Structure formats: structure tokens, C-alpha cells
Amino acid sequence: MTASERFDPVTFLEAAVATPSHEDPAEMRELLVETLESRGIEARVDEAGNTLAVRDSGREGPHVVLNTHIDTVPPHVPFSRDGDVIRGRGACDAKGPLAALLAAFFGAAVERGRVSLAVTPDEETGSTGAHALSFDPVPDAVVVGEPTELDVCNAAKGRFQATVTVEGENAHAAEPHEGVNAIRAAGDLLAAFDTFDDRDDSPGVHDALGAPTLTPTTVAGGDATNQVPATCSVVVDRRSVPPETAKGFRSSLEAHLRGRAPEDAGVSVSLAERDTPFLEAWETPADAEVVRALADASGGAVRPFTAATEAAYFAAVAPTVVFGPGGLADDEGAVAHAPREYVRISAVERAAEAVEAALDALLG
């Protein structure tokens, strides 16, 4: 195969969806590396498992990074094709976007500056690959491939996870007044979650992202059926908006709950342990060059993305957008991460054309 031959994103996508990457991305990474090298592009895998490639014009100009991920959530869903539809795990999240980005990477006329491809191995879990990435020169723009229905997403809420621990005192259930029931105290505090964003120092409603949310997701407590429980824990999911940080959220929630807990119950809040920073909220101005170029090329709306992605890391250093074929859900329900995951071939091809046109506009 020569570099002058047009890359077929559909053939690559069929092979990619048929390649399981829900437990180990190694086989999928091998496919990606082989695809790059077959077109004369040097591919490098760094210590964090990122697959990296560059097309450099040798002339001064912008540096645009194309990013997505090769890992998927379990379980693996086998590949199938029915007309315009490709089904299987990763079809839209995010092997469909990867196929489109690859086509644009190969096809763009890089007349100045450079375009880099940076594909991460663990976006669905720890994001250690994305956190380890560094670029020289620093990017001027980043396009992150995710299923956005061909809309150009220039912002997203962050996602934090914390555990609220309520401490009471054990007693025999026959004499409940002799103890402090941590489960009952935690139950009383559930209503306080709903008033958390009514406080004076709340980040409030963001112009693009709307209001932050705080959702209790799991509850655990008690050791015996005839004993007043001394501890109860509630895991909460926080979808943040700027300028809230993970540390600021933790301290604010702890203070809010302590002020509403029974006097004889203790309350503490701890963030989930991670090897990498939490994905915080981000926003790229709608008039940024990369946003305009991709919106003009795709015809898609400019709007926020509804899920947290590794774009949060890149947006801290360069104007960033999230873009790709497929959607997180459709009129029938969930698509990404669901047993019915699919993407339309026509959408993959349109996404490839749009990203290539945007690159031509930025690097031509």
C-alpha cells in the first residue's frame, strides 16, 4: 500500500470492532500500529501504552493533535454489519471515531505545521495513558474522537466520585436509644445532597453546561441484623461545572453535610483513590479557530458533550473539541456501552471528511 492510496475507514473499522479490547488493548494496538506502518507512517508506543504518530510539514505552523482511545468497556459484543450499520463493542465508542480520525490523519494536506495522532489505551478506566502524554511543541488545537452525532462539542462537565462516611455508635437493636444509628443519620442527610448547590459559594448554573449535579449511587452500612450500625457510607457522583475542582468539591460537601448532621454523628468525605487527576469541567470558546473550522466542515451544532472524557486533560493546554460519528444514545435508548452499540458507515465517512477538511483549513 502506498501513502497516495485513499484510506478506507470502513475496512479498518470492521477489523477494529472484531478485535476485542475490553480486557487488554494489546491486540487492538497492534492493529493500529500495523495500519500506520502499512502507509509509511512511523508509529511509536510509549511507556504508558499510547500509540503516537506524526505528519510534519517541516514548515512553521500550527500543531493539531487528534486523540481517541482503543479500550472498550466489557463485555465484548461481536462485530456484525447490516447495510449502513456496523454493530459491536466499540463501534461508536470509540473505534468509529478512531477510523474517522485515521482517515483524516492520512488524507489531510499538511502544508504547514504538523498533525499528531495520540491514541490512548485506558480511557474507560484510569486514563493513565492520557495523563502521561506530553507534546513538543505544545498543541495549538486538539480534536478528541467520541460519539457526538457529528456535533462539535466545545465543553463538558467534570466527573468526581466521593464517599460520604457517617459514624455513629453500636448498640443492641433491642436498646436502639443506647447507640447512634449511622444508617438513620445517613438517611436524614440524603435531603442535604439536594440543597448542596443552594449554598452561597456554589459554582451556580454555567452558561453552556447548566447546573452541576450530585447523585448518591450506592449505600453500604451495618454488620449485623440485630445491631445498631456504627457506620454507613454513601458513594456520590458529582458532575461539575467550572470553576469547581475536585478538592474544592470535597471540602465544600463535607462542610455542608457536617452542618446538617445530627450532633452525635460524625461525617467525613473522601475522594475516590485515583492514580491520575479527576476529569474536571472544561470549555473552549465557541469562536476558537478549531471550533469554527470543524463546525464549518461538518455542519454540526456547537454544544457541550454530556459525558466526561480525557478531553479534560487536553483542554488545560490547548483549545479542544470532542467530535465523532455515532451517539451515546438514540430514540430507543442507550447505544454506547450498551449491548446494541452501533455506528452508521455514512456517519463515519462524513466524520472523516469533516476532520480532514478542518485540518486542511488549519494546516493548509
Residue showing cell 495513558: 129
For residue 55, give the H/E element and its range: strand 51-56
Q: Which residues pair with 155 in a beta bridge?
A: 283, 304
Catalytic annotation on 178? no
| Residues belonging to the chain | 364
Q: Rounded to 5 degrees, what angle do the CA atoms 37, 120, 291 make?
A: 95
Task: Indicate the SS3 state at residue 170.
Answer: coil
Contact present, 325 and 351 (Cβ < 8 Å):
yes
> Which letter does DSSP use for residue 18 in this model?
T
**CB neighbour class for 200 (10 Å; exposed up to 12, middle 13-18, buried from 19):** exposed
Q: Give CA–CA dist 301/287, Å, rounded.
A: 13
Cα 167–chain centre separation: 34
Amino acid at 318: A
Residue showing cell 505528519: 55
Catalytic residue among 14, 123, 283, 356: 123
Q: Give CA–CA dist 117/56, Å, rounded.
A: 11
* Counts for the chain of helices (H) and strands (E), in that order: 9, 20
Q: Is the peptide bond before 97 cis (omega within 30 degrees of 0)?
A: no
Task: Indicate the SS3 state at residue 10.
Answer: helix
Contact present, 93 and 336 (Cβ < 8 Å):
yes
Amino acid at 175: E
Contact present, 90 and 145 (Cβ < 8 Å):
no
**Could you give the residue numbers annotated as active site?**
123
